[in-house]
């Protein structure tokens, strides 16, 4: 018993020491210190889904302001960097059904082209095929059978924005 406590203590110290060189995801970005203002331009809609582009633009704007600690605006004028995007695909597929045969869980997949450039044209982040995938459950109450599309767009847009901004801050590509 005493040996296992010593091993546990040593393992904890090793993990603690190893953790000192890491940072929390998204807490340290690759943005140059000169970027104080980012223009988030409206995402273009390359799909036949109305409102999704607006919801994504709003969600990305909120998330950039929250996570990147920069001023966010919708105009290029006076911005240090410009974020542009286009939603290129959006698919919703039912993956499970309730006893009545109605879908109650869905897989949502969205793809986008996204680019963040500074005013000199230097690319700070780029993904020509950013992919976002998530599984969502549909509410089972009586109101659950009313059209929930607009609410779903808000939820998907917020989750997409969180994943995208994390990818930008980590310097990654592709999405989840």
Give SS3 for 139.
Answer: coil
> Torsion over CA of 51, 56, 62 and 66, rounded to 10 degrees?
160
pLDDT digit string, tens, across residues 91-125: 999 999 999 998 899 999 999 999 999 999 999 99
26-35: pLDDT as tens digits: 334 568 999 9
Largest CA distance in the chain: 67
- Which parts of the chain have pLDDT scores under 50? 4-28, 144-146
pLDDT computed for residue 36 by the predictor: 96
- Closest listed residue to residue 169, CA positions, set 89, 101, 67: 67
Distance CA 157, CA 37 (A): 22
Q: Where do the domains of the chain lie? A: 25-170
Query: Rounded to 5 degrees, what are φ and ψ at 99?
Result: -60, -30
The CATH classification number of 25-170 equals 3.30.160.150
Residue 23 has what pLDDT?
36
């Amino acid at each position: 018993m005493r040996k296992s406590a010593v091993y546990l203590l040593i393992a904890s110290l090793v993990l603690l020491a190893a953790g000192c060189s890491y940072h929390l995801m998204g807490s340290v970005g690759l943005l140059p210190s000169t970027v104080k203002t980012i223009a988030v331009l409206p995402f273009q809609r390359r799909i036949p889904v109305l409102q999704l582009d607006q919801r994504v633009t709003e969600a990305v704007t909120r998330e950039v302001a929250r996570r990147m600690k920069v001023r966010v605006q919708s105009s290029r004028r006076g911005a240090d960097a410009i974020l542009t995007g286009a939603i290129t695909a959006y698919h919703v597929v039912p993956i499970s059904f309730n006893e009545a045969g109605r879908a109650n869980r869905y897989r949502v997949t969205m793809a986008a082209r996204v680019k963040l450039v500074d005013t000199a044209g230097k690319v700070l982040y780029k993904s020509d095929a950013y992919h976002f995938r998530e599984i969502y459950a549909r509410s089972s109450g009586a109101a659950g059978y009313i059209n929930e599309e607009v609410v779903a767009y808000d939820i998907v847009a917020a989750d997409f924005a969180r994943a995208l901004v994390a990818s930008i801050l980590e310097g990654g590509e592709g999405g989840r």
